[in-house]
Structure formats: C-alpha cells, structure tokens
Amino acid sequence: MSAGRWALPEGGGAGHTGGVHPLIDARTLDRAARENDDLVLLDVRWRLSGPPGITAYRAGHLPGAVFVDLDRELAGEPGPLGRHPLPSAEVFQAAMRGAGVRRDSLVVVYDDADATAAGRAWWCLRYFRHERVRVLDGGLRAWVAAGLPLTEKEPSPEPGDFTARPGGLPVLDAAGAAALAESGVLLDARAAERFRGEAEPVDPVAGHIPGAVNAPTWSNVGVDGRFLPGRVLRERFAALGATDAAEVGVYCGSGVTAAHEVLSLNLAGVPAALYVGSWSNWVADPGNPVATGL
C-alpha cells in the first residue's frame, strides 16, 4: 500500500480473532501427525549467515517434513525491492504444491527454535490465502526436548492443489511505511543497536525510518524459543502504542523477522501490516530520510 492507512483486501483477515490458532505445541503436533491425513509439515530452517537450512534438514528433521528454502521459495530475487521481497505467486504456489499442500491441508511450519523463519512461512501462507497454518512453538528444539524422534528419511509427497492468491494479509511499501510512522505506529523489529544506527552488519546504511519505534523481535519469545503468553505480548506492544485501536505496521532488515513480529502481534490480538521490503528496500532509495539514535 502506498498510504499511511491500510486495510485488508477483500476476503482477508488479521489478528487472532478466530479460526486456526497460529501456534501448536510439540505433543499436540505429534498426535495430529499420527491422526490426520491432511497435515503437511514444512521445515523452513534458515540463518542469514548460513549454513543453508537444507544441511540441517538432511542431518535430521521431523518425520514427514518437507524442506522449504526461505531464500528461494519464501522470497523473490534480492534487488531494489529488498533482500527478501515477496515471492511471485507462481513460485510460491509451485513450492507449496511440491510439498504436498492442498487447499484444505493443515500446514505446520517449524524452524530451529524461535520461529524467525517459521514466522515468515506462516506469513507467506496467510498472505497467499491459506488459512489453516500453524507454527510449532519452540521449533525443532521443543520437539527434541519432548523426547520425540527425528529422521533423515526424505518424503515424496503427492503434489498438492494449493492455489496462491495474493492479498490475504496487508502490506506496506516505502511510502506507506513513512506515512504510517506519522499517523500510526511503525515498529522496527531489529536489534536496538541497528535501530539507533550504531551498527549495521548487513545493509549499506545504518539507522531507522523516522518516527519508527524499536521493538526487537527476540523480546517476543522466551529463552526456550517459545512465544510469550498473549497477555504479556499485549502489554509489551501496548506500552509501545501498538494496540488493536491503532494502525500498526512492522519492518526489519529484509522482512523476515518483521513477519515474526506480525505473528507476535497476531497472538496479542493486534492486526499489523508488513513492510516486506523493510530497511533493505528503504535505503535502496537515497532520497528516503534516515534517523539515528532513539
């Protein structure tokens, strides 16, 4: 969107106000995987600095899980639109069909622990209008801690019939993010030192969008990688001005950890738009202003 105010496209929905709860615990997932033929497990492990998630997947994953590559299937080619722009509907649809996702599948996504990558997968599925999607709370770490097995066997799922239809969740472009920083609440999900402009390990310019409020993603989870309770998240976001009565948007470095923050806001009952291009798109235009400090 190119304006500060955002609204869901026709047929969309945001905030956890009903339907499938965004999270599932390891024990519940274990039972569901044994009892439901329509469940699809996606392993989306990923780290910005590597190694590739496929390496960890092949060393051991949840039984029946299919690996999905965040860089290639949950994002488009890096460039002026950002380091992780939206994947095309065609690319995302092909990846989900290849993983066996059908229009009525319950899809469960997981990463190592804190849902940084799983949050992006959850967001993409919701954006492309697949409602039945949940995140394994605590990720693979929680699965192992529950004494549940891993396997090196790679499944060969039947192709799915999922159809990707963009617009299920709201998005912002640079102009919309700038306007929202003035008229609503724009959260910056990066670490505080990056927000203040004291350090920038990835992008060519340090700082933040003027008017943004710092809300690091890692504050949404505990030391075990599980999400904090919804009431705690509501209190945290409310202290930053982000409530269900406000217009809220989120950005980060490239739209990955910001998707995790949108999920956290969802758990708190607060709808939020994602600036997919995030800081990497913002600084691609030298005409965009940059703020430093608090």
Domain boundaries, the chain: 23-145, 171-282
CATH 3.40.250.10 fits 171-282, yes or no: yes
Residue 1 has pLDDT above 80, yes or no: no
Write the pLDDT tens digit of every residue in 180-234: 999 999 999 999 999 999 999 999 999 999 999 999 999 999 999 999 999 999 9
Q: Confidence band (pLDDT; 50, 70, 90) for 294?
A: confident
**Terminal CA-to-CA distance of the chain, rounded, Å?**
27
Q: State the pairing for strand pair 39-43/106-110.
A: parallel
Please tell me the predicted confidence (pLDDT) of residue 10: 29
Provide the strand spans (E) within 111-190.
133-136, 171-172, 185-188
- Marked catalytic residue, from 41, 124, 181, 252: 252
Q: Is the confidence at residue 7, as pLDDT, over 70?
A: no
pTM listed for this prediction: 0.93
Tell me if 23-145 shares its fold with 171-282. Answer: yes
The pLDDT of residue 50 is 79
Q: How confident is the model at residue 36 (pLDDT cuts 50, 70, 90)?
A: confident
What pLDDT band is residue 37 in, cutting at 50, 70 and 90? confident
Catalytic residue status for 124: no
- The average confidence (pLDDT) of the chain is 93
The pLDDT > 70 percentage for the chain reads 94
Output the pLDDT for position 20.
75
User: pLDDT by residue (tens digit) across 92-137?
Assistant: 999 999 999 999 999 999 999 999 999 999 999 999 999 999 999 9
What pLDDT shows up at residue 49? 80
**Tell me, what's the pLDDT at 3?**
32
Residues 226 and 60: their CA atoms lie apart, in Å, by: 21
Q: Is the peptide bond before 159 cis (omega within 30 degrees of 0)?
A: no
For 130-178, write each residue's pLDDT tens digit.
999 999 999 999 999 999 999 999 999 999 999 999 999 999 999 999 9
Is residue 6 within 8 Å of residue 247, measured between CB atoms?
yes
Q: What are the φ and ψ backbone dihedral angles of 144, each rounded to 5 degrees?
A: -65, -40
Nearest Cα residue to 151 out of 66, 238, 249 = 66
Asked if residue 66 has pLDDT above 80, the reply is: yes
Helices (H), 36-105: 53-59, 70-73, 89-98
Instruction: State the pLDDT confidence band at 19, using cuts at 50, 70 and 90.
Output: low
Distances in Å between the alpha carbon of 198 and those of 151, 166, 201, 205, 289? Answer: 43, 37, 10, 11, 17
Whole-number Å distance between alpha carbons of 41 and 66: 6
User: Taking the domain 23-145, which CATH number applies?
Assistant: 3.40.250.10
